[in-house]
Structure 1
Amino acid sequence: MTIMAGMGGPTGTGVGPLLRGWRERRQLSQLRLALRADSSARHLSFVENGRSRPSRELLLRLAEELDVPVREHNTLLLAAGYAPHYPETPLDDPSIAALRGGLERLLTAHDPYPAVVVDGSFRVLAANRSLGLLLDGVAPHLLEPPFNAVRITLHPDGLAPRIVNLRQWRQHLLERMARQLELVRAEPLRRLYEEVSGYPVPAEEPVAGPTAGNPAAGDPAALGSPFALPFRIRHEGWVLSFLSTIATFNTPLDVTVSELAMETFLPADAATAAFLQSAVRPGNDAAGR
């Protein structure tokens, strides 16, 4: 496993418009936000109109009340002429070695089921051996590091031709990206969304044929799940079905850490679990292809 570093920097157009934008997004009045932040509606109005400069302490309180992401905390401070509050530590920095090691141990422990760590733009920073099983057949140009999880999933030269419920999974990913864009005004993420939303999509979901030991593969009803939307992908004559979970760090104090997410894939049926148990084990290179 290799963890790759690198994050974009903050941008802003003035602290007043930025604050107003976050307040309106959270659907709060000036009075209600001011009361929460121990200020006054008059002062907040002056700040939003550029007639007053907020103190660093007030700006941090406002950001907390507005549930502004860590990176955008720094954006607000810079727009007001203050130094950033949160550091942005590269993942290859020695000071973050313990965290990096913890992530790698979690990834390894999740084998034989796929798991991946991505940043706020869905770039893959680390993955376990089992992810290689899903990436079988992906075009080499899509795997050049740092490769992007969403691009690989939806690209016609990536996983898309093998995903049984591509229309469903595509909608899920695009909605997830849209929610991310509501939180972070990231130009690279916006460009990625525009790119992948333009990829071709089938007119209707194909029905996978049944395979030995995988009897549910040809059942159209199996495209759904009573628990969560499954990710269903063809592999070596099988249809593997996964449920996805996403974990982030609680109360992060670093920009880099705040944007890390570990996505793990759990088998959604017994056939998938049995296949992975036999395919991904010590001495078997199936996951590394």
Structure 2
Amino acid sequence: MPPFQDYIVDPDPTAWWSAHRGASPIIGTAIHNGHHIRSGLQDYLGLSADQRLREEDPFTEFFIRDLPNRIIVHRSRFEIDINRAREGAIYLSPEQAWGLQVWAQPLPDDAIAASLGVHDAYYAMLETYLRGIEQQYGAFVLLDIHSYNHRRDGADGPETPFEKAPQINIGTSSMDRQRWAPVLDPLIEQLRSFEFRGRRMDVRENVAFQGKGEQTRFVHERFPDTGCAIAIEFKKFFMDEWTGEPDIETLKAMRDMIRLSLPVLHETLKVRS
């Protein structure tokens, strides 16, 4: 067992995702947390587990453990990327996958269909799940938690320049920004006020990413008046993106930061409603 076993989730290899439902209008998701690839695809893979892990979002599930509503996807984005539109959710060319050749040989049609079936099932589940929360509370906020690399030139290479790489990037491109400003702006200020190692968090909007993922787009399309989906990208300052080793102190702090944002979200959503 790795020394950080308590900070990762190790589901049954056949599980697609886990969904927890509690008494709250706030939902957290970690849809790129997964690392499993189904057994029928193993012979086609052209990447090692370590290569895949670099582009996955490990530990993002840990950040949302204090939310009563949580959805964690257990399949690797290299099997099916839930955060891309259906037609691009399988990385069939290097251009779709950071230049990586994901498959050593072409995938059969039935394998592609099976992976797309997971994508279809996820969004059918998500709509039903969110409809229940909408009916109970009238509106909801979904925190779509991701992470991103900032040392792409190698383990000893330079970091991405500060101006292009906030510690936390808030993506809002698919959101009706004016409608949800009373919820979003206080959240951003709350995150910025969090102090860690003597400094406040660097939180910026639409810098490294613009929040163009499929999940936030889906929420805003299906729940235009009641659903606020916020893409939150953590720079991987909480781990070594080349070895996969986490900084436990930082993991715990980021979990605390998300937990402390919940009262603000509940209050602003209640006032808005």
TM-score range, shorter chain: under 0.3
Q: Which has the higher strand share?
A: 2
Give the TM-score normalised by structure 1.
0.26
- Larger relative contact order, structure 1 or 2 (CA cutoff 8 Å, min sep 6): 2
Give the structure with higher Rg (CA): 1
